[in-house]
Amino acid sequence: MELLVRNGFVYDPANGVEGDRMDIAAKDGKIVEKVNERRAKKIDVSGMIVMPGGVDIHSHIAGSEVNAGRELRPEDHFRDFERRTPVTRSGVGRSIPSTFTTGYRYSRMGYTTVMNPSMPPLEAKHTHEELNDTPMVDKASYPLLGDWWLVLEYLSRGNIEELARHVAWMITSTKGYAIKIVNPGGLEAWGFGGNLHSLDDQVPHFCITPREIIRGLCKVNKLLNLPHTIHVHTNNLGQPGNYETALETMESVRDLACDGKPAIHVTHCQFSAFKGDDWRTLELGAEDIAKYANCNSHATLDMG
């Protein structure tokens, strides 16, 4: 298939194109220098902006937690209903749209890729079934490995190479894209009615800390040369004073960055950017995190 998108105002910052009026040629799904104008399908986009598709690096669109949300919101199935058209299927959902509605809405907003950031390994098959049912956009998912029992066991023994082999098998078996870490060590502590609030608190029964989980999986990520760095939901998410935890988490792997690649990605950082000692003294700490991110290339973040 050959395609010619004509007369658009093109924005492509990576190649220094800033609003130039030009044509874009594509062949077999890839942008090329030129196509056969007689054979190509032509689309006139005069007066419109043409730019690379958006990538949502973190969006819960499939899997067990999404379906739990659907069960909690039965009114979603009749309050926001998308009717079938000649080119789209019907769908429902306001807070948690159904698969077809999710794909259509992302496409309308200009997105072409959505990364599902939380896939329990034992729920991987169903997660991929939902992702495969979501049209229009490319998808991938991150298996939850930060508190996976075998990960904690290998870390407690200090055996990084064996851990890397296990993680490689997990990524392959779950068809995952990146290592996801949620509340490192804290999820395991939840099973015993507790939590961890410091990077140096002990994980129950494993004699390791959140800092060791983060650093160990960061080393594994480097050994495996995965396409995305560790994707971390920090400890103390949503709690007053947690901006210090976010800063400490990013700083904990500074020495592991190399070759200009980030060592860590902190996700939904909006909820890890609070100052204050309690809810009465709560205030925003986003400026401190923004300054840190702007001055350090080893850490990236998203707002969530």
Q: What is the pLDDT of residues 100-138, one digit of tens each?
A: 999 999 999 999 999 999 999 999 999 999 999 999 999
| Predicted confidence (pLDDT) at residue 79 exceeds the cutoff of 80 | no
| Predicted confidence (pLDDT) at residue 73 exceeds the cutoff of 90 | no
**In Å, how far are 35, 42, 137, 212 from 108, measured between CA atoms?**
27, 20, 11, 42
Q: Which helix (H) or strand (E) holds 18?
A: strand 17-27
The answer to whether residues 270 and 184 belong to one domain is yes
pLDDT in tens, 270-304: 999 999 999 999 999 999 999 999 999 999 999 87
Total domains present in the chain: 3
Rounded mean pLDDT, 42-64: 94
The answer to whether residues 182 and 299 belong to one domain is yes
The answer to whether residues 58 and 207 belong to one domain is no
Q: Which of 119, 293, 295, 148 is nearest to 220 (CA)?
A: 148
The pLDDT value recorded for residue 206 is 95
The pLDDT value recorded for residue 29 is 85
The answer to whether residues 131 and 29 belong to one domain is no
The answer to whether residues 97 and 198 belong to one domain is no
Task: Please list, in sequence order, all residues whose beta carbon lies within 8 angstroms of the beta carbon of residue 279, skipping any fewer than 6 positions away.
Answer: 240
The answer to whether residues 119 and 233 belong to one domain is no
The answer to whether residues 213 and 169 belong to one domain is yes
Q: Which of 182, 185, 188 is nearest to 65 (CA)?
A: 182
The pLDDT value recorded for residue 94 is 85
The answer to whether residues 45 and 61 belong to one domain is no
Rounded mean pLDDT, 194-219: 96
| Predicted confidence (pLDDT) at residue 187 exceeds the cutoff of 80 | yes
The answer to whether residues 243 and 297 belong to one domain is yes
| Predicted confidence (pLDDT) at residue 159 exceeds the cutoff of 80 | yes
Average pLDDT, the chain: 94
| Predicted confidence (pLDDT) at residue 229 exceeds the cutoff of 90 | yes
The answer to whether residues 185 and 247 belong to one domain is yes
Domain membership of residue 194 as a residue range: 144-304
d(CA 235, CA 189): 12
The answer to whether residues 250 and 111 belong to one domain is no
The pLDDT value recorded for residue 268 is 95
| pLDDT category of residue 193 using cuts at 50, 70 and 90 | very high
Beta carbons of 186 and 156 less than 8 angstroms apart: no
Residue 144 per-residue DSSP state: B
